[in-house]
């Protein structure tokens, strides 16, 4: 029987320069494992051309033959290194193009800034649904203690997780220890900042010492990784309290993990989307004060939409990924998921900035609140994308507030083919999973799931990967030109190229709810809803500007304050 490892060794032997080897070749090389370069023939090369979409002459194939055979040893040598997921490529993606200069000095929240102090709500139910600025004010004024808040959120996690399936591991002991320490400091008048004493949840691709980091996938459900992720370390320093490691779809895809499907608190018969499934559900249901999610291609935007919460996907490189699972080194981003844009800004302020262990990370200015306000902001809207009444209503709110909007369009470059870069990088990040057949243990095994995607990525030619990167540069140039005309672009979160384009270029966005549609077929009077969202896309390193527009919209509406029925 030909094992999968032998199959991929055969693939390397057969088409090493283009990394392709068609299934039909299996009959040609025979059922025995291929282990010698002599198995490569002119006919082998000819068959391998099929998946690459190439055609050579027999003379050209003969000329390639010796070189392909000699390269076999190199591939075997590379495979001798069982590369762990935390080893990045030696080349790092940079969203800045030549001629661009990012602000270099961090403009942190002013030292004298303090949150407004609201009156404590009468009910605990009202308390847990407050956003970060309000919780911060209550904690600092000592109307609520960190321990009280932590115990309240822990109780809710335990009560609602059987329905939502949003928790992988409770970090209860760690959380109670942190809460008691926070109360001692707050009582003594030592305030670390807006997050001091606020409980939060981590998407379970962030390392937390002493607890499993499962990546949502069966093969890794017992792994314990150290040290703490840099984001966890920074939130500890800010006084935030980690109370749970929350679910993600296996290896950051979808909402299905080894424990089941994470459900949507607005309609529990529907999944919470992914891959930041647990963060989306937990924030929406009032189980945590905020959460940290991650996005490669929609994994903050989509669950923020589905669960009706506010998510910030920051500019690529602004939040270090050290200690986080790698899926795509040129596209992965970490970001906060909260109940308001203002909350996202406060979390971002605590965790952004360069980490010497993260090659792609940068420190650039972040201003909150904006000193200039929104005076003179150049706001664009995606032309032709606002045909739905609920979407057009967003533009009306913005215009009625005194803002001027200009129609703009994305460049005529289809981003879809460029996403082969994501597939190749993900396949490389989990190559050992494929070679050892451990990918068979993942719950999802359909055509769109990771196991099949990893295998298919083995047949993407290396030249196409590089050329996709070059077209990506053209796309980045076009988007840079677009943002020379505007500061922020407002668009529906889906139904247009914006999600793919901006993930490829590395631009920041804030996604927030703006409509709650009734669930078709639900009983009369049902509180179930399907949330919809709008996205504010910022210029490079202007996360603060995108957040300011989102905060402005939320100041004029109440969509972000609505609560799910959890039924």
**Which residue has tokens 């939409």?**
305
Q: Closest Cα partner for 302 from 257, 344, 248?
A: 248
- Given 12, 272, 275, 361, the catalytic residue: 275
245 in active site: no
CA–chain centroid gap for 456, Å, is 23
Q: Are strands 267-271 and 405-408 parallel, antiparallel or unpaired?
A: unpaired
439-461 in b/e burial notation, b at 16+ Cβ within 10 A?
bebbbbeeeebbbebbbebbbbb
- Tell me the DSSP string of 106-163: --PSPTT-----PPPPSSHHHHHT--HHHHHHHHHTTSS-HHHHHHHHHHHHHHHHHH
Q: How many of the other CB atoms lie within 10 Å of CB of 113?
A: 13
Residues 6+ positions from 265 with CB-CB distance below 8 Å:
160, 164, 272, 281, 284, 285, 307, 564, 565, 566
Residues 6+ positions from 506 with CB-CB distance below 8 Å:
93, 95, 315, 316, 317, 333, 476, 540
Q: For residues 208 and 228, what is the distance between their CA atoms, to the nearest angstrom?
A: 5
Q: Closest Cα partner for 289 from 426, 195, 409, 182?
A: 195
Burial class (CB in 10 A: 0-12, 13-18, 19+), 67: exposed
330 in active site: no
Q: Are strands 199-203 and 241-246 parallel, antiparallel or unpaired?
A: parallel
Helices (runs of H) and strands (runs of E) counted in the chain? 19, 15
Q: For residues 274 and 256, what is the distance between their CA atoms, to the nearest angstrom?
A: 8
Q: For residues 102 and 94, what is the distance between their CA atoms, to the nearest angstrom?
A: 12
Burial class (CB in 10 A: 0-12, 13-18, 19+), 301: buried
9: phi > 0 → left, psi -120 to 50 → alpha, else beta; which? alpha
Q: For residues 228 and 207, what is the distance between their CA atoms, to the nearest angstrom?
A: 5
Q: For residues 21 and 48, what is the distance between their CA atoms, to the nearest angstrom?
A: 5
Burial class (CB in 10 A: 0-12, 13-18, 19+), 260: exposed
Tell me phi and psi for residue 513, to 5 degrees: -70, 145
Residues 6+ positions from 297 with CB-CB distance below 8 Å:
331, 419, 422, 499, 500, 503
* CB contact at 8 A, 291 and 282: yes
- Given 12, 136, 203, 361, the catalytic residue: 203
44-66 in b/e burial notation, b at 16+ Cβ within 10 A?
bbebbbbbbeeeeeeeebeebbe
328 in active site: no
- Given 299, 453, 493, 533, the catalytic residue: 299
**Catalytic residue positions?**
203, 275, 299
């Amino acid at each position: 029987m030909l094992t999968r490892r032998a199959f991929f060794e055969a693939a390397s032997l057969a088409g090493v320069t283009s990394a392709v080897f068609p299934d039909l070749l299996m009959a040609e090389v025979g059922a025995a494992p291929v282990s010698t370069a002599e198995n490569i023939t002119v006919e082998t090369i000819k068959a391998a051309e099929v998946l690459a979409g190439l055609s050579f002459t027999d003379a050209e194939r003969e000329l390639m033959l010796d070189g392909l055979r000699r390269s076999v040893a190199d591939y075997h040598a590379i495979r001798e290194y069982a590369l762990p997921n935390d080893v990045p490529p030696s080349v790092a993606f940079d969203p800045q193009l030549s001629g661009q200069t990012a602000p270099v000095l961090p403009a942190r929240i002013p030292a004298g800034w303090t949150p407004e102090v609201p009156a404590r709500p009468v009910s605990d139910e009202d308390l847990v649904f407050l956003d970060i600025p309000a919780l911060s004010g209550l904690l600092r004024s000592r109307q609520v203690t960190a321990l009280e808040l932590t115990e309240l959120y822990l109780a809710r996690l335990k009560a609602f997780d059987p329905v939502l399936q949003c928790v992988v591991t409770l970090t209860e002991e760690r959380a109670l220890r942190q809460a008691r320490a926070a109360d001692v400091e707050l009582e003594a008048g030592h305030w670390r900042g807006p997050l001091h004493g606020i409980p939060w949840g981590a998407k379970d691709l962030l390392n937390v010492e002493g607890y499993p980091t499962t990546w949502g996938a069966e093969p890794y459900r017992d792994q314990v990784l150290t040290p703490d992720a840099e984001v966890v370390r920074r939130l500890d320093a800010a006084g935030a309290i980690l109370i749970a490691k929350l679910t993600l779809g296996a290896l950051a895809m979808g909402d299905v993990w080894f424990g089941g499907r994470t459900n949507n608190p607005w309609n529990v018969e529907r999944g919470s989307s992914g891959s930041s499934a647990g963060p989306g559900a937990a924030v929406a249901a009032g189980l945590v004060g905020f959460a940290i999610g991650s996005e490669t291609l929609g994994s903050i935007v989509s669950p923020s939409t589905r669960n009706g919460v506010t998510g910030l996907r920051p500019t690529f490189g602004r939040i270090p990924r050290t200690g986080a699972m790698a899926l795509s080194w040129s596209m992965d981003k970490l970001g906060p998921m909260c109940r308001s844009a203002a909350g996202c800004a406060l979390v971002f302020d605590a965790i952004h900035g360069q980490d010497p262990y993260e090659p792609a990370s940068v420190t650039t200015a972040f201003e909150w609140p904006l000193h200039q306000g929104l005076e003179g902001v150049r706001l664009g809207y995606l032309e032709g994308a606002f045909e739905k009444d609920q979407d057009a209503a967003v533009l009306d709110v913005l215009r009625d507030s005194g803002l001027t909007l200009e129609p703009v369009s994305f460049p005529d470059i289809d981003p879809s083919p460029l996403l082969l870069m994501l597939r190749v990088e993900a396949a490389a990040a989990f190559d050992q999973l494929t070679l050892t057949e451990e990918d068979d243990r993942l719950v999802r095994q359909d055509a769109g799931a990771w196991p099949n995607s990893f295998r298919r990525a083995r047949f993407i030619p290396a030249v196409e990967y590089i050329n996709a990167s070059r077209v990506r540069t053209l796309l980045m140039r076009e988007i840079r030109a677009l943002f020379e005309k505007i500061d922020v672009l407002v668009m529906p979160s889906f139904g247009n190229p914006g999600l793919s384009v901006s993930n490829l270029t590395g631009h920041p966005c804030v996604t927030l709810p703006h409509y709650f549609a009734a669930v078709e077929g639900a009983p009369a009077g049902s509180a179930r809803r399907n949330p919809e969202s709008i996205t504010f896309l910022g210029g490079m390193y202007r996360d603060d500007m995108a957040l300011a527009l989102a905060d402005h919209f939320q100041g004029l509406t109440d969509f972000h304050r609505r609560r799910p029925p959890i039924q």
